[in-house]
Amino acid sequence: MERSGIRAMTSDQGLALLDAAARQPDALLVPARLDLGALRELAASGVLPRILSGLVRARPTAARGTSGTEAADGTLAERLSGLAPAERARALLELVRRNVAAVLGLGDVLAVDPARPFKEIGFDSLTAVELRNRLSRSTGVTLPATLVFDIPTPALLADHLRDRLALGEATGPDALLRELDRLESQVELLDGDEERDAVTARLEALLARCRPAVPATAAGGEGVVEQLQAASADEVLQFIDSHLSTS
């Protein structure tokens, strides 16, 4: 709360403000201890809540943690577009983890587990909004206040930012390989044999579609139907496993 410019108050201070409010003719009052220095920092970083914008004046500057070199290199999307897909994914995950650590006061980005849900890390509505503001500022993308409740983990949030930034708008094989990179990073998040079996079945079915079609005739000129009719049960099962792979 202090980072947001609102200081704590003692019971005596609260009661004194209540007495003072009772003597005022105004219909609505907000008793609060404001830290104008913190509010000016928020204004300079471009993340000051609009309701407080009339209390301080500050010219926006580069966000904290962003060097002049980074600012001169262009937008985040422009910098990331020049990276390979794997490097791009790591950079976005680092961005998310760094901001999560700052919002929660962890001090070390390594303390943020990419696969651990935000709710378990300790996020509430206040810190969720602060993280949204920071990421919106860094990416230039408008994000919802419910971001950490809609997207459960830092790893998935990094993927979401990549999609919102429309990075690597590749088509064909490049787009497929990028999606495979994303899927590979999600496999580690699978929990339980049932989930793994379901995903494995889908992947094997997809792999079957990527394989060359089974030739109508074998090398010796014998058709596939004729081969199957003459095959043993074990050979038929092996054929299904090798060429169909649907389960």
Domains present along the chain, CATH in parentheses: 6-52 (no CATH), 73-164 (1.10.1200.10), 190-243 (no CATH)
Distance (Å, rounded) from C-alpha 14 to C-alpha 16?
5
Write the pLDDT tens digit of every residue in 175-217: 667 667 667 766 766 777 777 788 888 888 877 777 765 554 4
Q: What is the pLDDT of residue 12?
A: 95
Compute the distance between CA of residue 136 and CA of residue 124 in angstroms, rounded to an integer: 18
Query: Look-up: residue for tokens 């092996």?
Result: 238
In this predicted structure, the answer to whether residue 16 has a pLDDT above a threshold of 90 is yes
Beta carbons of 148 and 128 less than 8 angstroms apart:
yes
Tell me the pLDDT of the chain averaged across its residues: 77
Helices 85-104/173-187 angle, 10° precision: 40
pLDDT score recorded for residue 65: 40
Tell me the pLDDT band of 156, cut-offs 50, 70 and 90: very high
Mean pLDDT (whole number) for 31-51: 82
Say how far apart CA 152 and CA 132 lie, in whole Å. Answer: 14
Which of 168, 204, 199, 171 lies closest to 186, judged by CA? 199
Residue 67: predicted pLDDT: 39
Confidence of residue 3 (pLDDT cuts 50, 70, 90): confident
Note the pLDDT of residue 80: 84
**pLDDT score of 18:** 92
Per residue in 52-109, pLDDT (tens digit) is 888 887 665 444 444 343 443 457 877 887 788 888 889 999 999 999 998 888 878 8
pTM, two decimals, is 0.51
- Average pLDDT, integer, range 227-236: 68
Cβ neighbours of residue 101 closer than 8 Å, sequence gap 6 or more:
107, 108, 109, 111, 112
Residue 229: how many CA atoms within 13 Å on its side-chain side?
A: 5
Report how far residue 76's alpha carbon sits from residue 70's, in angstroms, rounded to the nearest whole number: 9
Residue 64: the pLDDT is 43
pLDDT for the residue 20: 93
pLDDT for 70 equals 42
| C-alpha to C-alpha distances, 231 to 72, 132, 240, nearest whole angstrom | 68, 62, 12
Cα–Cα–Cα angle for 42, 110, 114, rounded to 5 degrees: 90
Tokens at residue 5, please? 């410019």
